[in-house]
Structure 1
Amino acid sequence: MKGSVIAVIAGGAVAAFLGHAAEAQTVLRFSHTDNPGGSRQAAAEVFAEKFAEYTDGRYEVRIFPAGQLANDPKAIEQLILGGVDFTVSATGSYATHLPSLNLTAMPFLVDSYEQGWELYDNSEWLQGEFDKLPDVGFRVLATWEAGFRSFTTDKPLASPEDAKSMKMRVFPNDMIRWSMEAIGFQTVVMPITDVYLAIQQGTVNGQENPIDTINSLRFYEVAPYITLTRHVYSPLPLTVSEATWKKLSPEDQEAALRAATEAAAFSRDLVKNSVDTQIEEMKAAGAKVSVPDIGPFRDAVASVYDQARGVYGAGEVDKILADAKAIREAMPAD
């Protein structure tokens, strides 16, 4: 009888301890717009696993893919308000809250992944802009990969001349819009979660995104002409709500940074090394892939740099152009 009583008491103590531990675990919400099979989801899972590991299971990062909680602009707004703890989106998506980040979407800044990584990790100008974001309401933990933006359209796109008859979906980013209009497109702003149906219904003729996104969201099904212009390098800063960040202890902040950096390395490796395979898979599914003469596209967007100087100031534009030029010269593309 005595042993039974002890067992009951011990069992109750264990249950109480486990209940307390469960209560102590903090759930953090991670919103993104990639599909569950995409690289953002894969990297988010790595981040969640590592952050839990490095905080001894005291935090659970719960991931909400495919815009379940919000599209990109609204997720960033929720970051500022504290309704979402993490999100990952193209740099230009954050420019609504720090307009200078639009400059990262200027066309043809870099020519290779390695050049892009150097720009995002070590550009003095860009790091200075990232340092302003905590005052806005969120901060960059690391930069994940998406790749270079190219076109998917419902009819062939061989040159800027072809663009004049097309409507192109763009996200809310001045630089992307200016580049598309300089090429010749009529632009239509809409959330990425609406794009597939909009192409299917003929509201727009196409969209532009990295290959990883085109494949994940299956845009090639409704816009089968994939034109590999690689006109903008478009990686994905992983951000945390500043309200969430301030609640973390210094040790847990370090754990978040470590997990984010390891997930970034995973993301970069995954995206860079899967592009060719994804292109072949889309071709097998019926996509028509072409590499156009890039010269006419470069010529068409040349005016965008001066347009940017007029809005953002020649000093700011020339700083990032100088950083990008130095990187291209030091790290020639293969």
Structure 2
Amino acid sequence: MKTPLIKLLATVAIASLGTTAALADVLKFSHTDNPGGSRQAAAEIFAEKVAEYTNGRHEVRIFPAGQLANDPKAIEQLQLGGIDFTVSATGSYATHLPSLNLTAMPFLVDTFEQGWELYDKSAWLQGEFDKLPAKGFRVLSTWEAGFRSYTTGMELNSPADAEGRKMRVYPNDMIRWTMEAIGFQTVVMPITDVYLAIQQGTVDGQENPVDTIKSLRFYEVAPNITLTRHVYSPLPLTVAEATWQSFSAEDKAAISKAAAESAAFSRDLVKGSVESQLAEMTAAGAKVNTPVIGPFRDAVASVYDKARDVYGSEAVDGILADAKAIRDAK
């Protein structure tokens, strides 16, 4: 008598588990920040909000520290279907849409707030982002990393100190041109290889936002932190277009909301952490220097003309005009 009832209950339990598993669609999120960094913190907020706003239909599983791929490979994996989300510097996406290199032109904006305005409201930049779904991925929101500065083994007080020195760069023409205009020899390599490369003397330093310098501990092997703030370098959060098109309209709205809220969290966190991060690195033996910026600005003046030659005056002058309007209004 009991056997049919037991079998019935077991069948119901298995069916229930199967339904739950079907609802929990696992989505892979790859990034290169260490577990204690701001990208990981924002990714955790994003994952939490996605689960909440989709009522558990989707689970975002995070893979930090380049476990699945470095930045360029992660973007390729978006296109190939290997991962669902990544977050990387805007210039990293320029391999697939070269005009995005222009966002890495030096000294476009002076403050975080100006940078947020540029990324949220620039007509030129939004138009470029609208081209990305055809490349296999789309921008959901823009997270924060901050302004790029240097960590080097030697003091860097002016462009004269850069002469003959090797600077690691990621694969981005604008960053490379800027470094070469300042006087560096450039060496392209993945960010996951940089710590050891500095330690072994393959390069003399690297340039990244303070948050990245702290998270990846570059100050341990290149203790001179020079706050040039030469490029504003936020982090577009992107989703594979194939993944996006698989979502219902309801889930697209939910994931967009999670992306916006995680971006606001990221911006507040990174902006609010700069001074404490510099203080921590100083306490650990780093030397922080804010140089006279004029000579660095003068050194990179040729980069704008070079950009016009390669990308055309209309595109270059479009983003420069948007940036100037924002600087003048703030």
User: What amino acid sits opposite 2:129 in the alignment?
Assistant: F
3-state SS of paired residue (1:175) = helix
* Distance (whole Å) between structure 2 residues aligned to residue 123 and residue 252 of structure 1: 27
Question: In the TM superposition, what is the alpha-carbon distance from 1:7 to its structure 2 partner?
Answer: 6.4
Q: Which residue of 2 aligns with 1:172?
A: 171
Q: 3-state SS of the aligned residue for 1:237?
A: strand
Assess if the C-alpha contact under 8 Å between 2:93 and 2:100 holds in 1.
Answer: yes
CA deviations on 1:2-45 (whole Å, 9 max, x unpaired) are: 6x964663354134212331133211110100000000000001
In 2, Cα distance between equivalents of 1:11 and 1:70: 42
Secondary structure of the corresponding residue to residue 215 of structure 1 = helix
Comparing 177-186 with 51-60, which one deviates more in the overlay?
51-60
Letter in 1 for 2:27: L
The corresponding residue for 1:132 is 131
1:280 CA displacement: 0.1
Give SS of 2:203's match.
coil
Kindly report which structure 2 residues correspond to 1:27-106, keeping only aligned pairs within 5 A, or say none.
27-106=26-105
CA contact (8 A) 2:137 2:240 kept: yes
Which residue identity lines up with residue 92 of structure 1 in the other structure?
Answer: G
Partner SS, residue 69 of structure 1: coil
Cα root mean square deviation, aligned? 1.2
**Contact 2:149-2:225 at 8 Å conserved across structures:** yes
2:22 and 2:121 map into 1 onto residues whose CA distance is 41
1:83 maps to amino acid: G
Q: TM-score, normalised by structure 2?
A: 0.98
Corresponding letter in the other structure for 1:30: F
Equivalent residues, number: 330
Matched AA of 2:114: Q
Query: For residues 98 and 156 of structure 1, what CA distance do their matches in structure 2 show?
Result: 36
Give the letter aligned to residue 246 of structure 2: K
Check whether the contact 2:107–2:232 (CA below 8 A) recurs between aligned residues: yes
What code does the residue aligned with 1:228 have?
A: L
Matches within 5 A, 1:211-226: 211-226=210-225
Q: Deviations over 1:97-148 (max 9, x none)?
A: 0000000000000000000000000000000000000011100000000000
Post-superposition CA distance 1:261-317 (Å, at most 9, x none): 000000000000001000000000000000000000000001100000000001100
Residue aligning to 2:315: 316
Alignment of 1:1-334 (within 5 A): 6=5, 9-10=8-9, 12-331=11-330
Query: In the aligned structure 2, how far is the partner of 1:82 from the partner of 1:311?
Result: 32
- Which residue identity lines up with residue 38 of structure 1 in the other structure? G
- Counterpart secondary structure, 1:243: helix
2:308–2:316 CA contact under 8 A, matched in 1: yes
* 1:165-187 per-position Cα deviation (integer Å, ceiling 9, x unaligned): 31000000000000000000000
Contact 2:23/2:56, CA 8 A, preserved across alignment: no
Native 8 Å contact 2:282 2:288 kept in 1: yes
Work out the CA distance in 2 between the residues paired with 1:33 and 1:291. 27
Task: Extract unaligned runs of 5+ from structure 1.
Answer: none
Q: d(CA) in 2 for partners of 1:114 and 1:82?
A: 35
SS at match of 2:36: coil
> What are the ranges of 5 or more consecutive residues in structure 2 without an aligned counterpart?
none
User: Within 1, Cα distance between the matches of 2:80 and 2:164?
Assistant: 41
Query: What SS does structure 1 have at the residue aligned with 2:55?
Result: coil
Using the size of structure 1 for normalisation, the TM-score is 0.97
Determine helix, strand or coil for the equivalent of 1:28. Answer: strand
Q: Identity over aligned residues, as a percent?
A: 77
Shift of 1:228: 0.3
Shift of 1:164: 0.3
CA distance in 2, matches of 1:265, 1:8: 51
Which whole-Å deviations, capped at 9, do the CAs of 1:188-241 have from their partners, x for residues lacking one? 000000000000000000000000000000000000000000000000000000
How far 1:68 sits from its partner (Å)? 0.5
1:70 maps to a residue whose letter is A
Return the letter of the residue paired with 2:45: V
Following the alignment from structure 2 to structure 1, what is the Cα–Cα distance between the partners of residues 39 and 316? Answer: 29
Q: Which moved more, 1:97-106 or 1:18-27?
A: 18-27
CA–CA distance in structure 1, aligned partners of residues 239 and 23 of structure 2: 21
